[in-house]
Amino acid sequence: MNVKRFLGDQLDGKFLVIMSIGFAWYLLGLQLSSSSKVYHQLIQILFWVPGFLYLFVNPQVLRLWLARLPLFLLGFAAWSMLSVLWAQGDTRIKEVFYLLLAFNSILVLAWLDQERLWKIMAYAVLVGGGLAWYGIGIFFLVDGHDFSERLIGPGALEDTIIASHYMGALGILLYCFRGRLRQALQGWVWLLSLSGYCAYLLLSKSKGPIISLLIALLFLLVIIYRRRALLLVAGICAALLAYAYFFPEYALRGGMSYRPEVWDAAVEVLRQNPFAGIGLNVNYLIVIPSLEQPLHHAHNFFLHLAIQFGLIGLFGWGCVQYAVLLQARQHFAADKGRALVALSIFAFLALLTDGEGPWVKPNETWFTFWLPVFMALGLGVKKP
């Protein structure tokens, strides 16, 4: 046996174990952490740093950055950092480097064992549904909150709406990756976990994520099953009507939440710097006459991105999403491709009514901004 090859395989195995734990922590750590600080630190130690160090062990992994999606990501990151030159006020670029480390770690993990990447996702989201039930129990039964209150938690999940984005994203993956679980887990265990995500979304009383999830799943069902999906579509529509009828105070709660007025005001902010934007992580205010306090972001991810990076930056993000959808189309016959399509649709719709970023520290928003990108990066890895 070639000693160098043997030692290399041993080292690869150790990196694979550590980074597998790190990726699982990325998926579930928000529900398990006592604070976002702990979540960030363990992602760095278990996922980003090993991925960076592996570049020195096996430099040929750097070739993976020459594919279409990584190059688009580098271009978008470069424009985002360049915007610091005309930004006014304090700006931070370290979050861009966090994401570059995260992209690299996904590429390395997929290089080491691509199937392991999907297996981790399948079992992590199965556990995540159980943790959703745990969070529901803690919030309502242990902490004694009334069922009229909006659910938050568990762990470091601190915002109801973006926590719903997180739960919706994991729920989609669980639905699509059922076949990757052991046969014994594909029955009531899978259903119980999936119902945990559904219960969390309903108890969070966040209309946007719920509607986004339903549209994404309906689209997937129609594409896969075509006419046979019509009965399911009718059943889901009936369930929505029943929910609106029996729980109108939740289904119709808040109306449009001033979204049209907010978006009109955000467009006015964009017109001040339409092409280059105001710069990376520069704060701005959205003033609505009918609201006492100004808002700190556009409540629409795409408008927020355009305000910060201009129409040029929005085009760069569009190129990234184009590359993601190409990967989804190429692998649509497999569960991972269908999962990517459904998740991309969910993320797009959910981000129409909320979201700021994309260059932020790891939190719930990463599961709509970046998880589809991570999946597409993993799909694109091909060993020579």
- 228, pLDDT greater than 70: no
Cβ-based neighbours of 201, under 8 Å, separated by 6 or more? 164, 167, 168, 171, 209, 210, 213
Among 201-205, 326-330, 340-344, 368-372, the range scoring the smallest mean pLDDT is 201-205
Q: Measured between alpha carbons, how far is 245 from 113 in angstroms, rounded to an integer?
A: 49
Count Cα atoms within 13 angstroms, Cβ side, for 137.
7
Q: What integer is the mean pLDDT of 10-39?
A: 95
Among 56-65, 182-191, 204-213, 282-291, the range scoring the smallest mean pLDDT is 282-291
List the chain domain ranges: 3-380
Q: What integer is the mean pLDDT of 228-234?
A: 67
For residue 346, give the nearest of 202, 218, 178 by alpha carbon: 218
Average pLDDT, the chain: 89
Structure tokens at 78: 């470069």
- 332, pLDDT greater than 70: yes
Q: Write the burial class of residue 7 (CB in 10 Å: 0-12 exposed, 13-18 middle, 19+ buried).
A: exposed
Residue 178 confidence class, pLDDT cut points 50, 70, 90: very high
Q: What is the pLDDT of residue 256?
A: 53
Percent of the chain past pLDDT 70, that is, above it, reads 91
- Whether the upstream peptide bond of residue 154 has omega within 30° of 0, thus cis, is yes
Among 151-155, 250-254, 361-365, the range scoring the smallest mean pLDDT is 250-254
Q: What is the pLDDT of residue 232?
A: 67
